[in-house]
Chains A and B, each alone.
Chain A
Amino acid sequence: MRLYTASMFALVLLMFGAREVNAAGQAAPRISPLTATLVVPDSTLLPGVPFDMWVTVSNPSDASVGLGLCADLLVKPERSEPYTVRFGGERGRYPTLLPERTWSDGRETYIVLRPHEAKTLTVPVEPGLEGPAYFRDARLSPPGKYEIALQLGYCWGMATPQTALLPPEFLGPVTTNEVVITRIEPTGDDAKVWKRMQELTHGNWVPAQWEVSPAGQTVANEVEANYRDSNYFPYVTAATMIGSASESNIARFLDTIERFPNSPIIDLVHIAARAVLAGNCGLKTERAKLCERETDYLAHSTKPTTRIIAFGREDLPKDACPPEIECDN
């Protein structure tokens, strides 16, 4: 497994910058003029759960500027030393900030913003709570306040970081503003669930991967059996959302939507509900009404993190139809 970190890149850039200074005498390191604003729509959260984020990047300059889409998460916990989360696990892959088209498609890793252009990048909680990769880090779980920011760097992939390979319009990494998120001290059933989450993982609960870890599956089963009123319940529903259009799944999604309409994770449950109801839309049945209700909910969502999963890239122009393809319209 080969990975090149932003710190390594920074080191190379620093060395390059130093050489430039030595050679030219006064040359200054390049600084990107791009601005990036981080939004966390739900900044008050239960401990041990993932959350949505998005970033609005703007180019206030009169020139085109490049932006790398490999983002480190910079974390300043209230009670411990700052740290950086790049990825979780040996796979070492940055979250997708901009899919090529649909959510399950490839990803963009470098974009160029035209003069005065703005673009929204998303870091949604992934279906099944299996990502983004930042949440494979147990340090983000406990109650407390955290100041977080994203630093968007160039994606080196397997290439050895070297200044000569950087596109000319790339002027350096871009760091967002800091946002404070608060992990509350849970009470009641929530506290009991959080206690179990810690017990089963020896205090190292990872917010992602509920359903793929034995501890996560145990907690999910216990919440479904014993703590149905807990605010963790919609997270369990979202963590176990990948399944067939069975009656049990349809009922589960609809029940969760009805009882926890304001949960930070509820949009993923709406997405799951639409998926299992999709075959009913258009018919003159009660199910059809539910299908249309869920479709309508998503269609009117204003959260970029919801829309990117539900509808993919809505900002792309329609491709021209190549001659070897027959296209509608």
Chain B
Amino acid sequence: MSSRRAAFIVMTILLLVFAYDASAQLTVTLGADNSTIYYSVSSVTPPDTSYCVTAIVIDGVRAGATGNAPPCAMTPAISGFLTCHTLGPHTISAEAYNPSLQYFQIGQPQTVVVSAVPSFCNNLLGGHLNFDINDNVPASDREVLLSNTHVGPDGIPDTPYPHYQAFLAKDKQIPVDLRIIYNGAQTSGITVTMSVIDPPDPAPYVAGGSGTSLPPACLSLSHSNDNIGPLAKLTGADVTDNANGTYTVTSGANGAIETVLQLDNAAVAGDNYRVTATATFPDGSVVTANSGVITAWKRVFLEKRAMFRRGVTLASDAPIGVTHITIPNAPISSRAGTKREYFANGNYVMLLHAPGFGTTKTPGSFYSNIYQVAAKPHAFTVKAPWPTPATGTVQISGTTVVGTGTHFNSQVNVDDVIDVPNTVGGTDSRVVVSIADNTHLTVNFPFTFSASNLSFFVGDPKLIVGNAYFRLTLDRKLTEAYVCEPLAPDTSGDITLNDGVARVGSNIMPVSAADYFDVTDTSALTGGAEAQWTNPFPASFTEYVILPAAGLPLPHEILTNVIATQRFIDKWFTFPVAIQSGLDPMRIGSYKYPSPPNQQALLVADCDEQDVSNSGADGFLSDQIPSERASILDRATVEHDVSVSGNPLSGANVDTVLRRTTVHELTHQWWPNGMLFGANAFDHCHEVAYDSQAPYPPSGTPPPGLRFCLMSNPDGGPMMPDPSNPSLFDINMVEYYYRYAYTSYHAIEIGPATAPTCHSEYLAIRQKADPWTP
């Protein structure tokens, strides 16, 4: 074991070991042959019933295990022997672990010294070069990330690097260590010549394989030396670069050789490497060994957010202490047809606040609370003059208002807004919190100046003459303030940026899943590179890390305007950092929220129309503001479509459709097809997937095995008979196939027939720069 690995394991043990039951028994003995190590581990009582596997560990590496499915009242006992280990001391320990890979140590580690090599141990006799990373190591441990962009303030990555890369915890670097064994002994002083080679790309969309139907231009991409980036280099304190593609290094104490495989800055995901080592041993034998294949990967972080199913944004500020809120007279949900939903007496409502556009966000700057509507909603239309002049004059000081000739009891109500002219030609508005009599009232917040003999007005200046509103009376006073977005007056059309009011089923937290739109099946985003057909990003050597839930669902909005949609996301998602790019900080367009490197946003929303039957999409890409991107899923649209007879999605499973749509819309963020299929295709294609034997365009009844590329656009797609009424030839075939959630991309030939090249979304994604920003 290399020193850095040993140190890492010690650290890991210090951090992770669940100190427990030191009295439990681990028995270790050395056999009469001075080679075989016998062990016996007794059952112990675990801290909980999830610890059902017992493992024996030699020199920090698990060498055997036995176990059962949880629950377990006792850990299983295990006994056996270990053989063919190198000469010298070995540390044996035992541990029990659970499905979350939490573990605790059983008994005390023990050391034995092996002093003989049995004749049957071919792995020890003669010369051997043993790489830590070999092809038996899980492929996921052999990944090397090009970047790992989420790092905490302490410099530690929020998500660990893959197993071996974690020893160094650096981008584009992975330790490649080997041990020199000669006749059972870890042997120093052996000179080894090493080099890095580039094995063929194994991805099925270039290497082919069972069930695939690849054009020659794609098949020709897989061969030795097919990496896009240059070969990686070997570095290390004892490594000599011979400047001819080879490196020389001599084994040190315990036969250890430590090197680092350093990927080039131009490396791309999917580039792969193998390290070879050759040495001449004292008996004259020349031995060559290879490391396992090491593959470069991208890591992308995804902030996924849900949206409340019902609600609106505030029409005016709702300061602390008031018992009402004002909202637009508008439906609180999308609908099919004419049925409109509104808030009603008795509803529970959650008020949601996000920090103002352009300000720095912290977790504490988002807050929310649940109230109950305590009366029938009051509908009103603002009539001119507004605000309305009131009788008399007032003297103001702090929160006190003293009137002369006023009729507070008849002209003013608690929660009304009163307005007085301020000293700079504008208006100060305050909310009335109590009325003592016709000449005395108090307001919610002190005036910024004191004056007397002021005319005053009653009415909320945030409300627009001619517009219709609801006033909702709540069951108690607000204990926190909810506000309109300061940079977006109502008439701008950006009311979407105001704080939100959502209808929820109860006042119990957490909110019920029935209260919001979400997708819970994100399985297509993750998985190993081998997971073809269903997991397109891992197949593109791109790992998606779905960030922990960042907060409550977003307020309900019908996202009809693309730019307003992006600003809504900018305001409510946690990741954006505002950059002021415009001159005036008082203008909303002065701020940009560039997408962070290797991070994407996904919002599961309602619909892009108030009436879902008018919806134009089940998802879309928000990309109208340069350098900002987000993917939006219209779950209400899909829920509607699956319920309509004659719709291509009729009867389909909503989550299945959305699983596919999730990948489709996130793929758009990579823009893998660009303008290949024309400017009006907007990154869509019109191909069948590469594993399909079907010709394009298909016709008539769908041919067997048809798999449309995930990025196919149904617009103008081939038509097929309606399964519910075969006499009608009116179902869009591409859209119909959305129901099956196939998520494979195409691989096609493009370019002139004399020199065709291969194009695939898989290739396009993995070859994007890393870190990637739009």
A: residues with CB less than 8 A from B are: 1-5, 8, 12, 89-93, 96, 100-107, 109, 126-128, 130-131, 155, 157-160, 162, 164-165, 209, 211-214, 217, 220-221, 224, 239-246, 248-249, 271-272, 274-276, 278-288, 295, 309-312, 321, 324-328
Given contacts A91-B620, A326-B377, A328-B380, contact A280 B493 (CB under 8 A): no
> Chain B, 448-484, contact with A by CB distance < 8 Å: what is the 0/1 string?
0000000101010110111110100000000000000
Which residues of B sit under 8 angstroms from A214, Cβ to Cβ? Answer: 581, 626
Interface residue? B280 (CB, 8 A): no
Cβ-defined partner of B609 (8 Å) among A107, A165, A243, A310: A107
Contact A93 B560 (CB under 8 A): yes
Complex: chain A residue closest to B587, CB-CB: A243
**Interface pairs A-B: 10 shortest CB-CB:** A106-B610, A279-B461, A211-B589, A90-B682, A243-B587, A246-B586, A275-B489, A275-B491, A242-B492, A162-B730
CB distance from B572 to the nearest CB of A (A): 18
Which residues of B sit under 8 angstroms from A209, Cβ to Cβ? Answer: 563, 624
Which residues of A sit under 8 angstroms from B487, Cβ to Cβ? Answer: 242-244
Contact A326 B376 (CB under 8 A): yes
B: residues with CB less than 8 A from A are: 328-331, 342, 344-345, 375-381, 384-389, 419, 421, 425-427, 429, 455, 457, 459, 461-462, 464-468, 470, 486-496, 558, 560-563, 581-584, 586-590, 608-611, 613-626, 637, 641, 646-648, 668, 682-684, 713-716, 719, 728, 730-732, 735
Complex Cα gap A2–B735 (Å): 8
Contact A217 B491 (CB under 8 A): no
B contacts with A: majority SS: loop
28 sample A-B contacts, Cβ–Cβ < 8 Å, listed by A number: A1-B617, A1-B713, A3-B617, A90-B620, A91-B620, A91-B621, A102-B467, A104-B494, A105-B610, A106-B560, A107-B614, A158-B615, A158-B641, A160-B731, A164-B730, A212-B563, A217-B589, A242-B487, A243-B488, A243-B584, A248-B584, A249-B587, A280-B461, A282-B385, A283-B457, A312-B466, A312-B467, A326-B379
Cβ-defined partner of A4 (8 Å) among B426, B647, B715: B715
Complex: chain A residue closest to B559, CB-CB: A91
Contact B619 A1 (CB under 8 A): yes
Complex Cα gap A159–B618 (Å): 12
Cβ-defined partner of B617 (8 Å) among A2, A217, A282: A2
Which residues of B sit under 8 angstroms from A220, Cβ to Cβ? Answer: 582
Given contacts A90-B623, A107-B560, contact A159 B647 (CB under 8 A): yes
Complex Cα gap A118–B260 (Å): 78
Which residues of B sit under 8 angstroms from A8, Cβ to Cβ? Answer: 715-716
Complex Cα gap A92–B584 (Å): 31
Which residues of A sit under 8 angstroms from B562, Cβ to Cβ? Answer: 89, 91, 93
Complex Cα gap A246–B495 (Å): 18
Complex Cα gap A154–B455 (Å): 55
CB distance from A322 to the nearest CB of B (A): 8
Cβ-defined partner of A243 (8 Å) among B421, B468, B496, B588: B588
CB distance from B389 to the nearest CB of A (A): 6
Contact A90 B491 (CB under 8 A): no
Contact A242 B587 (CB under 8 A): yes
Contact A1 B620 (CB under 8 A): yes
Taking each of A2, A101, A131, A240, which has the highest tally of chain B beta carbons within 10 Å of its own beta carbon?
Answer: A2
CB distance from B667 to the nearest CB of A (A): 12
Taking each of B464, B637, B735, which has the highest tally of chain A beta carbons within 10 Å of its own beta carbon?
Answer: B464
Complex: chain B residue closest to A102, CB-CB: B467
Complex Cα gap A312–B735 (Å): 36
Which residues of A sit under 8 angstroms from B620, Cβ to Cβ? Answer: 1, 90-91
Which residues of A sit under 8 angstroms from B719, Cβ to Cβ? Answer: 160
CB distance from B774 to the nearest CB of A (A): 13
Which residues of A sit under 8 angstroms from B455, Cβ to Cβ? Answer: 283-284
Complex Cα gap A78–B563 (Å): 32
Which residues of A sit under 8 angstroms from B646, Cβ to Cβ? Answer: 160, 162, 165
Contact B613 A157 (CB under 8 A): yes
Cβ-defined partner of B493 (8 Å) among A104, A248, A278, A288: A104
Contact A105 B330 (CB under 8 A): yes
Contact A240 B619 (CB under 8 A): no
Contact A221 B583 (CB under 8 A): yes
Which residues of B sit under 8 angstroms from A286, Cβ to Cβ? Answer: 425
Complex Cα gap A324–B563 (Å): 36
Contact A89 B465 (CB under 8 A): no
Complex Cα gap A160–B560 (Å): 21
Taking each of B429, B494, B584, which has the highest tally of chain A beta carbons within 10 Å of its own beta carbon?
Answer: B584
Cβ-defined partner of A280 (8 Å) among B427, B465, B586, B715: B427
Cβ-defined partner of A101 (8 Å) among B330, B561, B637: B330
Contact A275 B613 (CB under 8 A): no
Which residues of A sit under 8 angstroms from B614, Cβ to Cβ? Answer: 107, 109, 155, 157
Complex Cα gap A217–B464 (Å): 30
Contact B611 A109 (CB under 8 A): yes
Complex: chain B residue closest to A271, CB-CB: B491
Contact A5 B457 (CB under 8 A): no
Given contacts A101-B468, A241-B492, A242-B488, contact A106 B728 (CB under 8 A): no
Complex Cα gap A176–B546 (Å): 50
CB distance from A299 to the nearest CB of B (A): 8
Which residues of B sit under 8 angstroms from A12, Cβ to Cβ? Answer: 730
Which residues of B sit under 8 angstroms from A102, Cβ to Cβ? Answer: 328, 330, 467
Complex Cα gap A240–B619 (Å): 29
Contact A278 B683 (CB under 8 A): no
Complex Cα gap A271–B615 (Å): 30
Contact A249 B586 (CB under 8 A): yes
Contact B713 A159 (CB under 8 A): no
Additional pairs, 19, CB under 8 Å, beyond known A102-B328, A158-B615, A280-B427: A1-B684, A1-B713, A2-B714, A2-B715, A3-B617, A89-B624, A93-B560, A105-B610, A160-B646, A162-B646, A212-B626, A220-B582, A221-B583, A242-B487, A249-B584, A282-B457, A283-B457, A287-B425, A326-B378
